[in-house]
Amino acid sequence: MILVMLTPGEVITGLISGSVLIVFGLVPGPFDRLSEGVRNFSNSLTSPFHPPHPRRHEPIHPPMGLALLGGAMILLTLLGYLAGPF
């Protein structure tokens, strides 16, 4: 059985990734801007003509599941780091 301890770089990556997921899950602004950017990018790839005016879309509610996933990622990262090799 091979036990691998998390390095400090992996812990920082887990903490930052979890924090970003929490922000996308709880704060409505960044998720709306991200979805609008993806929508504009896909429209620019599919249509050679831009619409005369940008269409307004209903605001998207941030998914709470992302916040829960981010919290779980932070918790598991910290538990993995603190547990170390058994």
Task: Report yes or no on 21 lying in a domain.
Answer: yes
Residues of the chain with pLDDT under 70: 1-4, 47-60, 62, 85-86
pLDDT value at residue 17: 93
pLDDT value at residue 16: 94
Task: Report yes or no on 3 lying in a domain.
Answer: no
Task: Report yes or no on 27 lying in a domain.
Answer: yes
pLDDT value at residue 1: 46
| Domain, as residue range, for 30 | 8-43+61-83
Encode the chain in three state secondary structure.
Answer: CCCCCCCHHHHHHHHHHHHHHHHHHHCHHHHHHHHHHHHHHHHHHHCCCCCCCCCCCCCCCCCHHHHHHHHHHHHHHHHHHHHCCC
Task: Report yes or no on 68 lying in a domain.
Answer: yes
- Indicate whether this model's pTM tops 0.75: no
